[in-house]
Amino acid sequence: MKKFLIIQLMSFLFIFFSYSQELQIVNGKNVVMDKCGFSSNSENELNSADNWGYGYDSLLVELNIWRQNQYVKIDSIGLSVQERPLWQLTISSDPNNVTGKRTVYIHARTHPQETEGFYVTREIIKILLSEVPFAQSIRENCVFYIVPMYNPDGVELGYPRRNANNVDLESNWFTFPNEPEVAALKARFTELMSSTNPIEVELNMHSSSLCKRYFVYHDSAGTSPQFALMQQDFIEGVRSYYQNGIEPWNYYVSWTGGNPMKYPESWFWYYHGESVMALTYEDMYQCSGTGNFDITANAILRGVMDYMNIPTDVAIEDGIIKGNFLLEQNYPNPFNPGTRISWQSPVGSWQTIKLYDLLGREIETIVDGYYEAGYYSTLFIVNSSFPSGVYFYRLQAGDFVQTKKMILLR
């Protein structure tokens, strides 16, 4: 009887302890939920029809495109349960020689249904591979390691939040043995943390059903008073570049009952403390306001650089970017039906981007409005009546004019 009571008591304490660690403060209210705002019922839902719009095959296509860029090296850090490679991008001025570079790590698509976190990650990659002075400065000073799809089996099997073994990888970091995906990423983290240039910032990219963009802040009860201030500084630094889009640091407060010893951030805090700014970022999951992934990516990158005290060639002073006008090549190109056009402006001005045919006739206005100094990107969906062929798009901002060629393939 005594043994039975001890077992019952231990079970109760385990349940209570687990429950208390899921107690969060969201927008000032105590709630019990996971950090992505999803219920346990969502884990049983399947969506295997289209991989939430972006499958493993889609990733392989983009990997082949990224691989052609001189600033990228692509390797596998390990295999999933079903032996799909876990691809990692190394991005730097010379990805084959990163000696002395400051290190940032990003991983996405832990939960397959949360594609928005991946789309922000993809925009981060796009900026890092661009030729704007801001990106050049980042590459000269830093190396970014990015795992764009951490749970490829879940994506292909249509499991919203679990891998092929029906395990949530997000909360598997202190379960032994680890799942293959967790073991691979943990080994990579361990390798880098023991190197001469350890990880300084690690971002865990997700999306939330709360329909807000936010970072999951870790209360000092689970970290330290000093790290609490460091997180506030980091989050508000990112937010300063997108104040109307990203919530304040105290929107989502976790770890009020201590370090839950589950997550990647738990692992970083337990082993490396204040030396790594390890945070989960949550984008909007299938909400009316979902989008602006490029703006979010820009804010995150600028916030990371500010936090690491790395000067860039596009420092904003008195509302003026210390850089140049720049119109980038559309991506993808050739395209059908959509392509993304990005540009940079060092001053606020009325800016237009117009589309012309081979005869120089204006056929569509893509952008027409006032833009503050900054880096911008827009998705252009071509009119279905336009035939295949060569077109030109032109940026005009004050006296500055630049034209690029694009190719439409039907």
Q: What confidence score (pLDDT) does residue 12 get?
A: 36
Q: What confidence score (pLDDT) does residue 35 get?
A: 67
Q: Which residue has the higher pLDDT, 278 or 343?
A: 278
Q: How confident is the model at residue 50 (pLDDT cuts 50, 70, 90)?
A: confident
Q: What confidence score (pLDDT) does residue 38 get?
A: 63
Q: What confidence score (pLDDT) does residue 289 get?
A: 86
For residue 198, give the 3-state DSSP assignment: coil
Handedness of CA 112, 115, 121, 125 (dihedral sign): positive
Cβ neighbours of residue 313 under 8 Å, at least 6 residues apart?
A: 133, 134, 136, 137, 322, 323
Domains of the chain: 40-307 (3.40.630.10), 320-408 (2.60.40.1930)
Q: How confident is the model at residue 34 (pLDDT cuts 50, 70, 90)?
A: low
Q: Which two tokens stand for residue 16?
A: 């209570």
pTM over 0.75: no
Q: What confidence score (pLDDT) does residue 67 get?
A: 95
Lowest mean pLDDT among 63-77, 83-97, 324-338: 324-338
pLDDT over 70, % of the chain: 87
Q: How confident is the model at residue 410 (pLDDT cuts 50, 70, 90)?
A: confident
- Residue 45 phi, psi dihedral angles, 5° rounding: -85, 145
Average pLDDT of the chain is 88
- Residue 99 phi, psi dihedral angles, 5° rounding: -60, 130
Q: What confidence score (pLDDT) does residue 207 get?
A: 96
Average pLDDT of the segment spanning 326-337: 86
Q: How confident is the model at residue 6 (pLDDT cuts 50, 70, 90)?
A: very low
Q: Which residue has the higher pLDDT, 150 or 342?
A: 150
Q: Does the structure show a pLDDT above 70 at 31?
A: no
In 3D space, the residue among 128, 110, 107 whose CA is nearest the CA of residue 199 turns out to be 107
Q: Which residue has the higher pLDDT, 17 or 273?
A: 273
Q: What confidence score (pLDDT) does residue 340 get?
A: 86
100-159 pLDDT per residue, tens: 999 999 999 999 999 999 999 999 999 999 988 899 999 999 999 999 999 999 999 999
pLDDT over 90, % of the chain: 67
151-208 pLDDT per residue, tens: 999 999 999 999 999 999 999 999 999 999 999 999 999 999 999 999 999 999 999 9
Which range in 20-29, 44-53, 56-65 is most confidently predicted, on average pLDDT? 56-65
Reported residue count of the chain is 410
Q: How confident is the model at residue 326 (pLDDT cuts 50, 70, 90)?
A: confident
Pairing of strands 362-371, 349-356: antiparallel
Distance between CA 242 and CA 209 in Å, rounded? 20
229-251 pLDDT per residue, tens: 999 989 998 988 888 899 999 99
Average pLDDT of the segment spanning 224-229: 93
